[in-house]
Amino acid sequence: MEKEEIIIEGLTPEIEEQIANKANELKAANPKDRIFPIAVEGDVDYGEKPVYVGYFKQPSFPIFSKYLAASQKDQAIAMRSLARDCFLDGDKELIDNDSLFLFGLMGQLSEIIKIRQGKLVNLSKAGK
């Protein structure tokens, strides 16, 4: 199943190239971390920038454990904590501004905790 491409007004090819360059720079500085650049459309009618970009790393075990514990109590607070703990660079407003966080960044954070595909291999049938 193909993902639907999301169009963000203001996300020009030049900005996408800058994002890719910055992500590569962060990967070089943090070679063991998976880097996730996340772009969120701003609302220029309300004085915001056209595009906000944040660079996040995949959470470590302690960060993910903290997120899981917090999510049992309040999912929004848990997601904001996860964003703060995984933030590497970029527009901090994505985390600090309620509107940008709740209606922009929060929906994209699931990408940094996406589960890999796996399968239990049933060995009991292999020898029969």
Domains parsed from the chain with CATH numbers:
13-113 (3.30.2220.10)
Q: For the segment 16-66, what is each residue's pLDDT rounded down to a tens digit?
A: 999 999 999 999 999 999 999 999 999 999 999 999 999 999 999 999 999
Query: 109 Cβ partners below 8 Å, 6+ apart?
Result: 38, 56, 79, 82, 83
Pick the most confident of 1-10, 41-50, 90-99: 90-99
Q: What is the pLDDT of residue 110?
A: 87
- Cα 42 to Cα 82: distance, rounded to the nearest angstrom: 21
Assess whether pLDDT exceeds 60 at residue 128: no
Q: What is the pLDDT of residue 126?
A: 57
Helices (H), the chain: 13-29, 61-71, 75-86, 93-96, 98-100
Q: What is the pLDDT of residue 29?
A: 95
